[in-house]
Structure 1
């Protein structure tokens, strides 16, 4: 073996051993942002998909509960982010989460979900007008928690 090749091999080996052990540059962390619920509920193509169940966000007042079906029902949905704006992705995945709660509520004889709050990474956050969405380069996600009920 030629001495130049041996030296090059030793130098490259030493450089690789000294390099940080993290794989490639880390992708930026998903950003958790706050969005307006009205922007989802006011879209006609979305609103029609939620008919049959009324959602009460945060501590919004609601009619008297006739029957509590399930307290703290949860859903966590993900949707494609790639090729969409963060806002569009978050609206779409929020709709998906609400549809999931709607279908569970209807299947159990309910007509409303009260006390709906964001629950991203199992950290509850409550608002009457806003929700949290996590959006990264490829995916967006919304997690919700609420009480499925039948209202009078």
Structure 2
């Protein structure tokens, strides 16, 4: 019985550490968006503007939406896994903007572990042993 409890404890500890983000990396936004368009995940009907002041001149009608997307890292580089998670986040914002009649997603910032990351050029990704994750916060606008 003692061996079973020790085994369960070890497995639980390993699984938590495998999913937890061990590192944060920063990757360029522009090529990742271009790849998402090329792959057909999103199109140019919704524009993405990164940076906390990027929507200053836009008519914002949905504020501070968030998405937290994960991607499997097994057999992939951190960059590939993070780009997949970023694409998933873009897709969710894209679909929501289309659903609500928006043409832009503005004021997009990183929001990993609820800590803001404000950049017009790079996105933030948490990388663990088995998973990578991207969290974004943004507004829908016309």
Judge conservation of contact 2:67–2:136 (CA < 8 Å) in 1: yes
> Higher RCO, 1 or 2 (CA under 8 Å, sep at least 6)?
2
2:141 corresponds in structure 1 to 149
What are the within-5 Å matches in structure 2 for residues 26-65 of structure 1? 27=17, 30=21, 31-43=23-35, 45-46=38-39, 48-51=40-43, 52-59=45-52, 61=54, 64-65=57-58
Counterpart secondary structure, 2:92 = helix
Post-superposition offset of 1:104: 0.7
Which protein has the larger Cα radius of gyration, Structure 1 or Structure 2?
1
> Structure 1, unaligned stretches of length 5 or more?
1-21
Counterpart secondary structure, 1:134 = strand
Separation of aligned partners in 1, 2:101 and 2:61: 8
1:123 corresponds in structure 2 to 115
Scaled by the length of structure 2, the TM-score of the pair is 0.79
Counterpart secondary structure, 1:65 = coil
Give the paired residue count. 130
Judge conservation of contact 1:56–1:116 (CA < 8 Å) in 2: yes
Scaled by the length of structure 1, the TM-score of the pair is 0.75
1:136 corresponds in structure 2 to 128
Post-superposition offset of 1:147: 0.8
Judge conservation of contact 1:69–1:147 (CA < 8 Å) in 2: yes
> Structure 2, unaligned stretches of length 5 or more?
1-8
- 1:93-139 CA-to-partner distances (Å, cap 9, x unmatched) read 10110110110111011010111000001111110000110111111
Post-superposition offset of 1:62: 5.5
Post-superposition offset of 1:56: 0.4
Counterpart secondary structure, 2:41 = helix
RMSD: 2.4
Judge conservation of contact 2:52–2:109 (CA < 8 Å) in 1: no
